[in-house]
Amino acid sequence: MSSLDGARVVLGVTGGIAAYKAVEVSRRLVDSGAHVVPVLTEGAEHFVGRTTFDALASEKVQTSLWDEESPIPHTLLGQSADLIIVAPATARLLSDYRVGRSADLLTTTLIATAAPVLLAPAMHTEMWEHPAVQENLDVLDGRGVHIVPAEPGRLAGGDIGFGRLASPRTIVAHAERVLSTQDLAGNHVVITAGGTSEAIDAVRVISNRSTGKQGYALAEAAWARGADVTLISTVDREPPIGVTVVSVESAAEMEKAVMSVNNADVIVMAAAVADFRPADPKGHKIKKSGGGVPEIALEKTHDFLVDLGENKPGGQVLVGFAAETENLIDNAKAKLAKKKLDLIVANDVSAPDVGFAHDTNAVTILVSDGTQTEVTLDSKRVIADAIFDAVVRVQTTLP
Ligand code: CTP
Q: What is the pLDDT of residues 327-360, one digit of tens each?
A: 999 999 999 999 999 999 999 999 999 989 999 9
Q: Which of 273, 299, 308 to probe ligand 1 with, by most ligand atoms within 8 A of CB?
A: 273
- CA of 331, closest atom in ligand 1: 29
C-alpha to C-alpha distance for 112 and 121, rounded to whole angstroms: 21
CA-nearest residue, atom 3 of ligand 1: 303
* Residues whose CB is less than 8 angstroms from the CB of residue 277 and which lie 6 or more positions away in sequence, other chains included: 198, 199, 206, 250, 251, 298, 299, 301
Residues carrying CATH 3.40.50.1950, the chain: 8-179
Q: Are 151 and 164 in contact (CB under 8 A)?
A: yes
Fold of the 8-179 domain: Rossmann fold (3.40.50)
CB-based burial of residue 206 (10 Å sphere; 0-12 exposed, 13-18 middle, 19+ buried)?
middle
Taking 90 as the threshold, does the pLDDT of residue 399 lie above it?
A: no
Q: Per-residue pLDDT averaged across 128-150, rounded? A: 97
Of the chain, the percentage scoring pLDDT greater than 90 comes to: 91
Residues carrying CATH 3.40.50.10300, the chain: 188-397
Ligand 1 centroid to 294 CA: how many Å? 28
Q: Which of 197, 209, 254, 303 to probe ligand 1 with, by most ligand atoms within 8 A of CB?
A: 303
Q: Per-residue pLDDT averaged across 148-166, rounded? A: 87
Q: What's the Cα-to-Cα distance from 191 to each of 19, 68, 257, rounded to whole Å?
A: 36, 49, 11
Q: Per-residue pLDDT averaged across 150-176, rounded? A: 90
Q: Please say if 347 is a catalytic residue.
A: no
Q: Per-residue pLDDT averaged across 296-322, rounded? A: 97
C-alpha to C-alpha distance for 91 and 226, rounded to whole angstroms: 28
Ligand 1 centroid to 195 CA: how many Å? 11
Q: What's the Cα-to-Cα distance from 145 to each of 97, 106, 109, 141, 279, rounded to whole Å?
A: 10, 15, 14, 5, 56
Report, at the CATH architecture level, how domain 188-397 is classified.
Answer: 3-Layer(aba) Sandwich (3.40)
Taking 70 as the threshold, does the pLDDT of residue 125 lie above it?
A: yes
| Closest by Cα among 37, 44, 57, 59 to 93 | 44
* Residues whose CB is less than 8 angstroms from the CB of residue 123 and which lie 6 or more positions away in sequence, other chains included: 16, 88, 90, 91, 133, 150, 163
Average model confidence (pLDDT) for the chain?
Answer: 95
**Residue-level pLDDT at 155:** 78
**Residue-level pLDDT at 159:** 78
Catalytic residue among 208, 263, 311, 327: 208
* Number of CB atoms found within 10 A of residue 156's CB: 14
**Residue-level pLDDT at 345:** 98
Q: What is the pLDDT of residues 190-237, one digit of tens each?
A: 999 999 999 999 999 999 999 999 999 999 999 999 999 999 999 999
Q: What is the pLDDT of residues 201-212, one digit of tens each?
A: 999 999 999 999
